[in-house]
Structure formats: structure tokens, C-alpha cells
Structure 1
């Protein structure tokens, strides 16, 4: 199949008609920038061949901004030497015409014929889907889809397999897939595809079998429980009657009474020990209190002796502190006198510095006053010059628009005069002694005569010559010239000048005055950027500040004998520091004296108070009493301690066995024996009730019926399992046979893939899936899936694989046309060169339409580049 021409009308961005003819049988290269229309041309070819002409979704084909358009595409192509034409019109007045040689097909018949011819499935409704595109979907690559070859080849797998079957002479057909599909459909009714788990009737049989087995197990458990309950009833009845004869709980209760009596005696002994311990504790507390009182009195005597020693030391400290305070007071007086003298010297030194600063300021003020007076004088002069220049410029100013208009009229008048001179009739005359008369004027000798109107020339003695200029519009030219000259005169009067030269000279003088004005304004801005009045105000301020500085200088004392400031400041700092140190020393000695006096007074009070307390008669009498009481209390505590130890020994002997715990143990044992007998009685009643209930429910008959149903369901499950196994085996055999046939079919495709692949990847091979689509690349001893490759490599593999598919389709007699829209965008220079060689090789067998927005990358193919912009311009 070879496209010969493409005609596109009112299709998306082509609002008019675009015709592309003279398509070559090999490689055709179309170039243009983004949005030039490359993809629109490729889409037009796809639409005319693949889309239904009556599809309602094709309104997006309407030209931009033209809702009433009629998108139409017409292609001429050659099919095995037969001339063919296909024309479709979409959206409005839909039509479809297909001519193959002398045969004409229309509408649905034409589209069915196209589908069979090109190898795709016609859409019954809506847009063409990817899985219906077949061979064109594989070979006609849209922009950005070059890398996606697996899905496209999968959608065309049926057509590729048919082509390979013809080439290999094999017997693979779509019927095998249909049979495999039918077997797998039956198998999927019994087993799931992925996990091979039971489903459908087999799953139902297994579920029913599981339910019957569970019911059987339940009934078996109930039967075993019935037998066990009979045995348990006999055992419980025998134990109940034995306990009723022996009555063990009564023996336990008698032992509990005896143990409780022993526990009461032990409790009485414990209470007596506790009472004796409490009496001993009270006696020990009273003895401790008496001992503490005696200890306190002894400590008071020791403290009094210590305080008297401290009092003597405190009195000596008071005398020393008073002496230090007197010395610090005398030192402070001397430092105060030195500090006053140093401060007076520092004030005189500061006055000398102030006088120097005031003299400096006065000098600066004088210089500033001189500068301001000079600036004011210069600014006043510049201001006067600005006023003069302004007046001069105003007197010379001329309207620029009218000047430009005058210049234009001057040029126009010159042109009109030149045209008039050129249009006038020129007569050169040379008279030898004779004369001629023109409008009553006699002319002799030689000269030039110009005529702008019909004139009569008298030739004395000969006759007359009537001269009529040959230019027909001379009168209009004279009128136009006259009007222009009138406008020129009016403008000259309006501007007040005699000529254009005078106006231009005046304009130049005005520009000179304006330039002078600007220079004077700049001078004024330099001397008085904010005006003259701020300068005058600054001058008045400088005069006032100089006067103030003079007055402050006069008020200062005589500084002729003033010391240096640094020396005076150091002396003042030293005197101040000495004064501060003396002040701190006086304060510290005063605090020490006060603290010593306070401490001495406090100690004297403590000694007096403690001595009075020890000498008090009442205190001495009470002390003698508690000293005598201490002897008696110690003897009483010793006696109580002996009694407590004796009773504790007796208590320890009685506690060898715990009678209270034994009483409790025997009571609990009696309760347990009685409760166990009651529980046996309850269990016996329950077992009898259960046995009566189970015996009346027909447990044996139900168990026999369930076992029979279980055997029947096991046979059903076995039959279905056998069918599933047979179907699985048949599916495996059919798939293996089909895969073997497909492997035989892969050989021609593998050979063509290797033919192109070696250009980019030497010593490599492509692995193919069951649908003949590439799934992995083998190279350098490793296998990479297509998804693991880079985007650019997948794009290159997509181009090479499509060239191989096209070779196989052509060899089997199917039409091949390759369209690549912006392919190899992500390819480096070295691999692009290899792709170019592959494309040129394929172009010897197929027609290829290559669209690109990078013409500079494809200018070495030896193929003429056809610019989309040029095609649109030619249309």
C-alpha cells in the first residue's frame, strides 16, 4: 500500500483546504515547529481510515473557531498496483466513498472493506478503541506513544499470527485459541484460574460434603457423650451413697470445735502479754522523761559557763571596733579635702577644653558664613541669567508642529515643481538671423522655451505653429502646485518668517536659548538646590550660632593656668576612689562596732537569765525530786521486763500449732464435704435428664441418615474432581501444542527483529510473549524487562519492533504504511544515526511518513524535507 496524496479540508487547525501530493514510495519527511499541524495531518490519515464517518464524537474535528465547518479528508493510494480513493466527510452531511479500481463502495460497506483490507476491527459505536486498531494501531504511531509497543502489538496479535502462519507454513489458527478458551471456560466453572481453588458445582459439592461431615461428627460426639453420661451417672450414684453412709463432714466439724477451744486460750494469753507490754512501755516513757529533765539541767549548767567565756570575748571585740571606727573617720576627712581640690582642678581643665572647642566652632561658623554669602551672590546672578534666558527663549519659540508641516509643504512644492518642469513641453531653438513670435514676444538667437499650455508660435513669412503639451494632467498639476504654494504662504505668515530657512534658523536660535537656560538652571541648582531663601535662612542661623559661641566663650573663667585634662581627670578619679574606699571603711567599721555591741548585750542577757534559772529555789527542789524518782522508775521497769519475757516464752510454746487456723481448716473441710455431696446429687439429676432427652431424640437413626448422605456427596465430589482434572490436563495439552506452534511462528519474527536490533544492540535479542509482543531484552549476559529500560531505549525498541512487524506483514501480502509522529525524541546522536540507517533500510520496502519538529536532526537522510508551513502557504 502506497499513499499518493492527502487532501484535508476544515479539519481542526486547517480551516481551509490542504493538499499534500507527490508522496514518495519510501521515506517522506515532514517538518515544522510545535502546533504547525504535523500531528493534525497524521490524525487526519488515522481518522479517514479507522473512524466511522457517522460517529457523533467527532465534533472535535471541527476547525478552530468555525462551528459550522464540514471536516473532510480524501486520500489516494495504490494497492498492489490498483488505484484507490477514499473520501470521508464528518459531522455534517456525513458521507463515505471508497473506490478500488473500478469497484465503488459506500458507507458501511466501504468501512467494512477498509477494516478487512488494513487489518483492524471496525467500531460498532463510539470512538475507535486501542484494542480495535489492529495493524494500523501498531504501525501508525501517535506522538508520545513510540515507546508503547507491547499493548499495540498485543491488539494486532491475531493479524500478526495469521501473517506468520502464512510465512512459516504452520497450522496455527485462531481456532486453537477458541478451543482453548472453551476448555478453560468449562474448567473455570470448576476451578479458579489463578489459585486453582474449587468454584461453582465443585465448590458447592465440597461445601455440602463439609457440612454433612460436620453434622456426622456432631452426631458421633453426641453418641459418645451419651455413653459417657451413662458411665458418669453410675459413678456419681455410687460416690453419693458412700458419702451418705460415712458422713465425713460431721468428723470435721467436731475437730473444728476442739481447735476453737485451744484458740480461745491462746487469745487470752496474748491479751495478757499485750497488757504487760503496754504497762512496760508507759513506765519506760516516764523514765525517759525524768532522764531528759536531768539531762536538760546539766546542759544548762554547761551552756552558762560557755556563755560567760563568750561574753568576755565580746567586750574585748567592742573596744577594738571602736578604735578602728575612729581611725576610719579621720581618714575619711583627709580624703574629702583631697577630692574637693581635685574636682576644682578638673573643672578648670574642662573649661580650657570648652574654650578651645568654642574657638574652633567660631572659626567654622565664620567659614560657613563666607561660603553662604558667596553661594547667595552666585545664585542671585544665576537666577537673573535664568530670567533673561527664559524671556529670550519665549521670544524665539516657534511651533514645532507647524514647522514640520512647513517642511513637508516645502518638500511637496519642490516635488510638484519638478513634476511640472518634467511635464512641460521643452523647445530648444537656434535662429540664424530670423525671429519668432510667442504670445506677442519676439525671440531671436538661441534658447529654451518651456510651454505648460497650448501656445501659438508665429513664423514671420512662413506661418504659425500650434504647440499643445502632450501631458493630459498638467492643468491638475498646476492647480495642486498653486494650492500647495498658498498653504506654504499662509504658514509662513502664521510663523512670522519669510522662508523655511528663516523658520529653521529661528528654531535653532530658540534651541540655543533653551540650552543656555538649562545650563543657568543647573548653575542655580548647584549653588541653591532648594532655592535662595533656604541659603539666606542658613546664613542667619550661622550668624546666630557664632554670636552664641562668642557669649559662651566670654563667660568662661581664666584658663591660663589650667592643667591638662587627662592629668586632672586621673587625679580626680584617684581622689574619688580614695574617698569611696574611706567611706566604705568607715561604714564597715561602724557596722562592726554595732554588731560587737549588740552581740555583747545579747550574751550578757543570756548569762543573767540562765544563772537566775539555775539559782531558782523551786527549780532546785524539783530537780532533787526527779533525781530520786529516776532510781525508783529504773527498778520498776526492770521488774516489768522480766515478767514480759516469761509470758512471751509461754506464748511461743502455745503458738507451736495454730489452733485458729486448724479450726478454720476443719470448718472449710466440713463445708466442702457437704457441698460436694449436694453437687453429686445435682449432677445425678442432670445426667438423668440428659440421658432421657438424648434417648428420646432418635440419635441413632439421624446418624445413619447423615452417613448415607455423606457417602452420596463424596461420590458427587469425586466425579466433579475427576472432570476438573481431565479439563486441566486437556487445557495443559492444548496450551503446550499452541505454544509449540507459536514458537514455530516466532522464528520469522525473531529473524526480522534481529535484523534491525543488531544496528543498536549487537549480540542481543528480544524475547517475545505469547501474543508476539516484546517483553524483555537479552544483552551482555543479562535479561532486562522492557519496563526496566530507560524511556529512550524503550522508544528505540518500539521503532525497530514496528519495522520488523511491517516486514512480516508485507511478506504475507498485507498493506503496510508506517507513520511516526515525533519519534526518537529521547535518543542520543549515536543511536539516532543507527535508527536512521534502519529507517532507510525499511524505506526500501515500505512507505514511511515521518513527522518531526527538529529538522536539523534529520537533514542527513538524503530525503527532501517538506515544511508544513510551506504546504499551508501553497494551499
Structure 2
């Protein structure tokens, strides 16, 4: 099949008509930038051949911005030597016409004929789905879909198999696949497809068998438990009877009573021991108090002797400190006089320096006052100029927005007046007599402009009725009057007579504003903070000048003053000497005071302690507690010996811990009673269980379940055998089918190798059951398509489609290849190989290539047809 002409009318972005003729039977190259319309042309070809002309979803084919458009596509093509023509109208006035030679088809019949010729199926409703696209879906590649070849090949698989069967002479048909499908359906009822796990009846049989086995095992476990319970009952009854005869808990209780008696005796010993301990503690505390009192008296005697020595030393120190203080006081008086003389000399030197500073400040204040006078004068002049310019500008200011509106209205009036005058009927006259126009008489010569119907009286000759030829003249006149009223109102609002006067006022205002800004800058230079600030600064400078003069007059005569540095050094030396002497005096005074206070304090303390030692009551008490110390020591030693004897007796009584033995024997008695009671309960429970199980017919139930297990196992084995047989049959049928398919693949594999060697030498492509590329084998390594790079998959997509086209061509089926922006992700070397493959395929097929990179395809040796040029030509 070879397209000869494509005509597109009101289709998406083509709001008019676009005609593409003179299509070549081989390679055709269309170029243009993005959104130029390349993909729209390809979509138009797909729509005219594949889409149902009555489909309601095709409203998106309407031309942009033209909801009432009528999209249509018409193609003229050659099919096996027969001239064909196909046209479709979409959305509105839906129609389909197809002519093949002398035969004419219309509507649904035409679409069915196209589907049979091109190898696709019509969708029942809605847009064309990928699974219905068939051969065109494989060979007509949309933008960005070159690398997606697997799905489109699968949708065209049946058409490719028919072509292969015709080329190879094989009788392969869908019957074998139907048989395999039937076997697999039966097999899938027993085993799952992917994991080969049991399902359906087989899974049910396995589940039933497993349930019966569990029930059988449970019954057998119950039977074993029944036998074990009989043995346990005999053992428990024997142990119960033996315990009832021996009654071990009574023996444990007797031992507990004896242990309690020993525990009570030990407790009595412990209470006596605690009384001895308390008595010993009391006597030891009394002895410690007596010893402490005697130690206090001894310490007091030692302190009196020590403080007598300290008092003698303190009195000697106080006498020395008084002599040192008197010497320091005389030295301070001498240095104070020297420091006063040095300070007077320093004050005179400072007065001389201050007088010099004041004279310098007076000169600076005078210069600052003169500068401020000049600045105030200049700032006053500039300020008056600013005020004058502001006043003048305010008088001439005009609203800029209203001025722009006036300019716009003036422009609109000019245009509308010209249009109105051009629309009015113009009559030029030159009269020898008089005529009437409406109610007015006209004579002489001139021009009449009529904006409405008028009657012109010609006297005895009759009359003329003049009707303006423009229908909307009255509306134009109404609009003109409205604009003139707005124009006049705006002139009145602005207070001007014309637009020129308003513009002149605005220019004068801008000039005055510029003058105002210039004078304001001058004012800011001289008085950045205002004229009042300058006047305040001038007053401040005058006050400072006056103050400096007054301070200079108050200073003493400093003609005989020494240099300031020399006077400052002399004053510093005198001050340092005085400070040092003052510190010496302060230390001497502090030392004298401290020494005197220490001697007085030691004297008072010594008198108090001597009086305490010599007190008669203190002497009698001391003799008394010395006697008590001897007696108390004898009592403490006797109590310690008695306490040691009692501790040995208690240790012997506690050797076996009678209290712990009481608890142990009582716990053993309670445990023996508890165990006997538990044996009695277990015996009763076992008897109840044995009676229940014996009455339930456990043996009969176990025999019945064993029989059910055997029956379920036979059913499961039968179904497993059927699944194995079906699996074997499926493998045999698939192997046979694959062998037939391998025979069918030979022509396709040959064509794939023809194109593949151009880019991937020494490589082969393995095909899947649906004849789509599955793996690429390079250098002994197989790669799935998904593992390849995007560019490699894109290149394989182009080459495999060329091979499919060769296969279909050889079997006598029509072919047309369309590639929209293909080989975008391909490097230069591989792109050259793709071009050679396209040129080779173009000798057998018509190929339409659309690209936005004309510079990459300018070496094909074919004419590039720019879409923009096609639009202009249309």
C-alpha cells in the first residue's frame, strides 16, 4: 500500500485545509519544530484508517478554538495496483466513503473492509484500543513509543502467524493452541499454573484426607490416653492408701511442738541478755560523764598556765606598737605639708594650660558662628525658591490619569469621526435654482452629508429619497455623541479648552517640579536638618563663645607657673610619699589597737579561769567524781563478764535455730495433708474420665475413621494420577507446537538477522511465542529487552518493525511504515546504520518519517518537506 495524497480539513491545530500530495513510494521525510503539526498529520492518517467515524469520543479532533468545526481526512492510495480513495468526516455530518478500483463501499461496510485489508479489528465502542490495532498498531509508531514493541507485536501476533504460515507452507492453525488450552484448562482445575500447587478437586481431596488423618490420630491419642489413665489410677490409689496408713503429717506436727519449746527457752535467754546490755550501757555512760568532767578540770588548769605566758607576751607587743604609732604620726604631718605645696604649684600649671585651651576654643567658636551665618543666608534663599516653585506647580498640576484618559478619548474620537464621515452619504451640488432637503432650502454649491434618510425636492421634476448605505450609522453617531460628551466633561474637569492646552500645562508642571527638586537639594546641602536647626546651632555657638570668655577671665595669673609635666610629677611624688606614710600610720594604729585589745582580753579570761579553779564548790565536786570513776569502772567490768556468759548460753541454744525448725515441720505437715487431698481429687477425676470415655464407643469410632482415611487416600491418588497425566500431555503438546512455531519463525528470523547485523553484528534475537523480541544474544550472553538501555530498545524497535513489514510484504499483505520522532536517543554511528536500514526497506515499503531534527536526517538523499511550508501552501 502506497499513499499518494493526504487532505486534512479542520483537524485539531489545522483550522483550515492542509494538502500533502506527491508522496513518494519509498522514503518520505517531514520536518518541523515541536508543535508544528507533525504528530497531528500522523494522527490524521491513523484516524482515517482506524477510528470509527461515528465514535462520540472524537470531539478532541475539533479544530482549536472552533467548536463548530467539521474535522475530515481524505487519503488517496494505491493497493496492489488498484487506485483507492478513503474519506471520513468526524463529529458532525459523520460519513465514511471507500473506493477500491471500481468497487465502492460506505459507512460500516467500508470500515469492515479496511480492517480486513490492513489487518486490525474494529472496537465495539469507544476509542480504538491497543489490542484492536493489529498490524497498523505495530507499523505506525507514535511519538515516544518506538521502544515499546512487545505489546504491539502481541496484538498483531495472529496476523504475523498467518503470514508466516503462508510463507513456510505450514498447516499450523489455531487448533493446536485450542487443544493445548483445553488440556491446560483441565490441568488448571487440579494444579495452579505458576507454582503447580493443588487446587480444585485435588486440593479438596487432599484437605479431606488431611482432616481424616488428623481425626484418626486424635482418636488413637485418646485411646492411648485412656490406657495411661487406667495405669495412673492404680498408682494414685496405692499411694493414697499407703499415706492413710502411715499418716506422716502427725509425726511432723509432734516435731514442730518440740521445736517450739526450744524456741521459747531461747527467747527467754535473749530477753535476759538484752537487760544486761541496757544496764551495761547505763553504767558506761555514767563512767564516760565522770571521765569527761575530770578531763575538763585538767584542761582548765593547763589553759590557765598557757594564758599566763600569752598575757606577758601581749603586754610587751602593745608597748612596742605604741612607740611605732607615734613615729608614723609625725612623719605623716611632715608629708602633708609637702603635698599641699605641690598641689598649689600643679593648680597654677593647670590654669596656664586651661587658659591656652580656652583661647583656642574662642577662635573656633568665632569661625563656626561666621560659617553658620553664611549657611543661614543661603538656606533662606533656597527655601524661598522651593516655596515659590511649589506654589506655582500646585497651580498648574493636572491629574495624569485623567490626562491619559483624555488622550485616549481624543484618539478614539478622531478614529470614530473619520469612520462616521466615511459612512455618511456625501452629495456635492452646484445648483442654478433652489431645491429642498427635508424642510430646508438649498441653493448655490456645496456638500451635503446625510446621516439618515432624507427627501430632496426637485420642484416640478419630483423628488429624491436618499437612504445611507451603512446600516449601523445611527449606532456610530450615538457612540460618537457619547464620546464627545465624555471628552467635553473631561476637559471641563481638567479646566482646559483642549488636549494641547492640557499637555502644555503638564509640561510646565514638570518643569516647576524639577526646579523645586533642584532648590530642595541646595537647601539640603546648606541645611540638611532645616534652617531652624542652623539658627539653633548659631545660638549655641554664641553661648559657647561667651562661656569660654567668662571662664578665661576667671582664671588666676599663671605667668610664674612651672611646666605642667614637672608640676604633675612633683605632685605625684608628694602624693605617693603621703599615701605610703598614711598606710604605715594605719598599720601602726591597727597594730597598737589589736595588741592592746589582745592583752585586755587575755587578762580577763585568765582572771575568770583562776576564779573557777579556786572555787570551793568546784574543788568538792572534783573530789566526788574522782571517787565515782573508781567505783563505776569496777561495776562495768563485772557487767561485761556476766554478759559474756549469757551470750555463750544463747549461742548454744540457737545452734539448731528452733524457730526455723518449727516452720519447717509445720510446712511439712501441711504439704503432706495437701498431697493426700490432691491424690484423692486426682483419683476421682481419673475415675470420671474413664467412665466417660468407656461409654463413648472410642474403639468403634476409631475403626470407622480408619476406613474413611483409606477411601480418601484412594480418591486423592486418582486425582494426582490425572494431574500427572494432564501435565505430561501438556508438555508433549507444547513441545509439538513450539517445533511448528520454530518452523514458522524461520522467515522472520532471517529478516531480523538481515537488519540486526547493521547495528549488532554477530548477534541474534530470540522470539517469544507471540513472535515479539524476547532476548538479545550478544557474544554468548543473553539480555532481556528490559535490561537494555532506552536507546538500544529504541533501535531494536525500528529494526524489528522493518523485518515485520518485510514478512507481511512477502505474504502479499499491504504495508505502510510511519515513524514519529524515532531514533531520538541514538548516537551518530548507530543513527547512520538506522538510515541505511531505512533506505534499504524503502525499496520495498512506503515509509513516512516525522522529525524535529532536520539536520540529523539531511543525508538521506530525499527531499525534506517542512510542515510550516505545507501550511503556507494550503
What is the TM-score with the length of structure 1 in the denominator? Answer: 0.75
The CA RMSD over aligned residues, in Å, is 4.2
Task: Provide the C-alpha distance between the structure 1 equivalents of 2:211 and 2:259, rounded to a whole number of angstroms.
Answer: 63
Partner of 2:826, secondary structure, is coil
Residue aligning to 2:251? 251
Residue aligning to 1:452? none
Residue aligning to 2:4? 4
Which of 549, 555, 560 in structure 2 is aligned with 1:554? 549
Residue aligning to 1:226? 226
Task: Provide the C-alpha distance between the structure 2 equivalents of 1:253 and 1:698, rounded to a whole number of angstroms.
Answer: 49
> Counterparts of 1:58-137 in structure 2 under 5 Å?
58-137=58-137
Q: How far is 1:78 from its partner?
A: 1.6
Q: How far is 1:820 from its partner?
A: 1.7
Contact preservation (8 Å) 1:138, 1:802: yes
Q: How far is 1:537 from its partner?
A: 8.0
Partner of 1:279, secondary structure, is helix
Are residue 355 (structure 1) and residue 379 (structure 2) matched?
no
Partner of 1:66, secondary structure, is coil
Structure 2: which 5+ runs fail to align? 394-507
Larger mean Cα displacement after TM superposition, 833-842 or 739-748: 739-748
Distance 1:573 1:326, change over 3 A: closer
Partner of 1:771, secondary structure, is coil
Contact preservation (8 Å) 2:365, 2:542: no
Residue aligning to 1:791? 790
Residue aligning to 2:861? 862
Q: How far is 1:690 from its partner?
A: 1.2
Q: How far is 1:773 from its partner?
A: 2.9
Q: How far is 1:603 from its partner?
A: 5.6
Are residue 264 (structure 1) and residue 268 (structure 2) matched?
no
> Counterparts of 1:338-487 in structure 2 under 5 Å?
338=342, 341-342=345-346, 345-360=349-364, 362-363=366-367, 366=370
Residue aligning to 2:19? 19
Task: Provide the C-alpha distance between the structure 1 equivalents of 2:331 and 2:809, rounded to a whole number of angstroms.
Answer: 127
Q: How far is 1:562 from its partner?
A: 7.5
Residue aligning to 1:709? 708
Any idea what the Cα deviations from partners look like across 1:708-730, whole Å, max 9, x if unmatched? 11111111111111222222222
Distance 1:546 1:737, change over 3 A: same
Contact preservation (8 Å) 1:378, 1:527: no
Distance 1:573 1:169, change over 3 A: farther
Residue aligning to 1:678? 677
Residue aligning to 1:647? 646
Task: Provide the C-alpha distance between the structure 2 equivalents of 1:321 and 1:118, rounded to a whole number of angstroms.
Answer: 137
Distance 1:857 1:87, change over 3 A: same
Residue aligning to 1:282? 282
Partner of 1:97, secondary structure, is strand
Larger mean Cα displacement after TM superposition, 824-833 or 46-55: 824-833
Q: How far is 1:553 from its partner?
A: 5.0
Contact preservation (8 Å) 2:53, 2:90: yes
Task: Provide the C-alpha distance between the structure 1 equivalents of 2:779 and 2:591, rounded to a whole number of angstroms.
Answer: 101
Task: Provide the C-alpha distance between the structure 2 equivalents of 1:320 and 1:132, rounded to a whole number of angstroms.
Answer: 132
Partner of 1:245, secondary structure, is helix
Partner of 1:196, secondary structure, is coil
Any idea what the Cα deviations from partners look like across 1:19-49, whole Å, max 9, x if unmatched? 2111111221112222221111111111222
Partner of 1:75, secondary structure, is strand
Partner of 1:686, secondary structure, is helix
Task: Provide the C-alpha distance between the structure 1 equivalents of 2:343 and 2:665, rounded to a whole number of angstroms.
Answer: 107
Larger mean Cα displacement after TM superposition, 595-604 or 104-113: 595-604
Structure 1: which 5+ runs fail to align? 391-512
Partner of 1:844, secondary structure, is coil
> Counterparts of 1:197-216 in structure 2 under 5 Å?
197-216=197-216
Task: Provide the C-alpha distance between the structure 1 equivalents of 2:866 and 2:301, rounded to a whole number of angstroms.
Answer: 129
Contact preservation (8 Å) 1:379, 1:528: yes
What is the TM-score with the length of structure 2 in the denominator? Answer: 0.75
Distance 1:232 1:517, change over 3 A: closer
Task: Provide the C-alpha distance between the structure 1 equivalents of 2:614 and 2:156, rounded to a whole number of angstroms.
Answer: 132
> Counterparts of 1:608-627 in structure 2 under 5 Å?
610-627=609-626
Task: Provide the C-alpha distance between the structure 2 equivalents of 1:317 and 1:652, rounded to a whole number of angstroms.
Answer: 69
Any idea what the Cα deviations from partners look like across 1:162-203, whole Å, max 9, x if unmatched? 334444455554443333333222222222223222222122
Residue aligning to 1:189? 189
Are residue 57 (structure 1) and residue 57 (structure 2) matched?
yes
Q: How far is 1:552 from its partner?
A: 4.7
Q: How far is 1:87 from its partner?
A: 1.9
Task: Provide the C-alpha distance between the structure 1 equivalents of 2:863 and 2:155, rounded to a whole number of angstroms.
Answer: 34
Any idea what the Cα deviations from partners look like across 1:610-669, whole Å, max 9, x if unmatched? 555544444443333333222222222222222222222223333332333333322222
Q: How far is 1:575 from its partner?
A: 8.0
Contact preservation (8 Å) 1:53, 1:94: yes
Distance 1:260 1:869, change over 3 A: same
